[in-house]
Structure 1
Amino acid sequence: MSLRYGAAMADFVLVAGARLGSWAWDEVVPHLVAAGHDAFPLTLSGLAERRGEPTGQQTHVQDIVDEVERRNLRDVVLVGHSYSGIPVGQAAERIGDRLARVVFVDASVPADGEPFVAEWPDGGAAMTATIAENGGFWPVAAAAHYRGHGLTDEQIARIVSNSTPHPGGTLTEPAVLARPLDGLPATYIKCTLGDPEPGDDVARLLTNQGWRLVEMDTGHWPMFSRPRELARILDQILIDAPAK
Structure 2
Amino acid sequence: MNHFVLVAGAWLGAWAWDEVVPGLREAGHDVHALTLGGLAEKKDLPAGQRTHVQDIVGHVERHDLRDVVLVGHSYSGIPVGQAAERIGDRLRRVVFVDSNVPVDGRSFLSGFDSDDVRQALDANAGCWPPLPPDAYAGQELTAEQIHRIVTEGTPHPGATLTEPAVLRRPVGELPATYVKCLLDGPEPPPAVAEALKSERWELVEMDTGHWPMFSRPRELARILVESAAVD
Aligned to 1:3: none
Mapped contact 1:128–1:172 kept (Cα < 8 A): no
Q: In 2, Cα distance between the equivalents of 1:238 and 1:223?
A: 17
TM-score using structure 1 length: 0.93
Aligned to 2:159: 169
Mapped contact 1:139–1:165 kept (Cα < 8 A): yes
1:237 aligns with 2:231: no
Q: Which runs of no fewer than 5 residues in structure 2 stay unpaired?
A: none
Mapped contact 1:12–1:37 kept (Cα < 8 A): yes
Q: In 1, Cα distance between the equivalents of 2:172 and 2:204?
A: 17
State which of 24, 31, 35 in structure 1 corresponds to 2:23: 31
Give RMSD over aligned pairs.
0.8
1:212 aligns with 2:207: no
State which of 59, 62, 78 in structure 2 corresponds to 1:86: 78
Output aligned runs, 1:114-193, within 5 Å: 114-121=106-113, 124-193=114-183
Moved over 2 A (4+): none
Q: Which runs of no fewer than 5 residues in structure 1 stay unpaired?
A: 1-8
1:111 aligns with 2:111: no
Q: In 2, Cα distance between the equivalents of 1:175 and 1:128?
A: 18
Q: In 2, Cα distance between the equivalents of 1:149 and 1:196?
A: 13
Mapped contact 1:48–1:163 kept (Cα < 8 A): yes
Letter in 2 for 1:20: L
Mapped contact 2:100–2:189 kept (Cα < 8 A): no
Mapped contact 2:14–2:35 kept (Cα < 8 A): yes
State which of 91, 99, 102 in structure 2 corresponds to 1:99: 91
Output aligned runs, 1:64-83, within 5 Å: 64-83=56-75
| Cα drift, residue 194 of structure 1 | 4.2
Q: Secondary structure at the match of 2:61?
A: helix
| Cα drift, residue 231 of structure 1 | 0.2
Aligned to 2:48: 56
Letter in 1 for 2:227: I
Deviations 1:145-172 (A, max 9, x none): 1111000111111111110000001001
Q: Secondary structure at the match of 2:72?
A: strand
| Cα drift, residue 133 of structure 1 | 1.0
| Cα drift, residue 125 of structure 1 | 2.8
Q: In 2, Cα distance between the equivalents of 1:192 and 1:115?
A: 24
Q: In 1, Cα distance between the equivalents of 2:15 and 2:228?
A: 25
Q: In 2, Cα distance between the equivalents of 1:82 and 1:149?
A: 14
Q: In 1, Cα distance between the equivalents of 2:176 and 2:16?
A: 22
Mapped contact 2:23–2:221 kept (Cα < 8 A): yes
Aligned residues: 231
Q: In 2, Cα distance between the equivalents of 1:157 and 1:26?
A: 16
Aligned to 1:6: none
Q: In 1, Cα distance between the equivalents of 2:12 and 2:228?
A: 26
Larger deviation, residues 191-200 vs 54-63: 191-200
Output aligned runs, 1:11-22, within 5 Å: 11-22=3-14
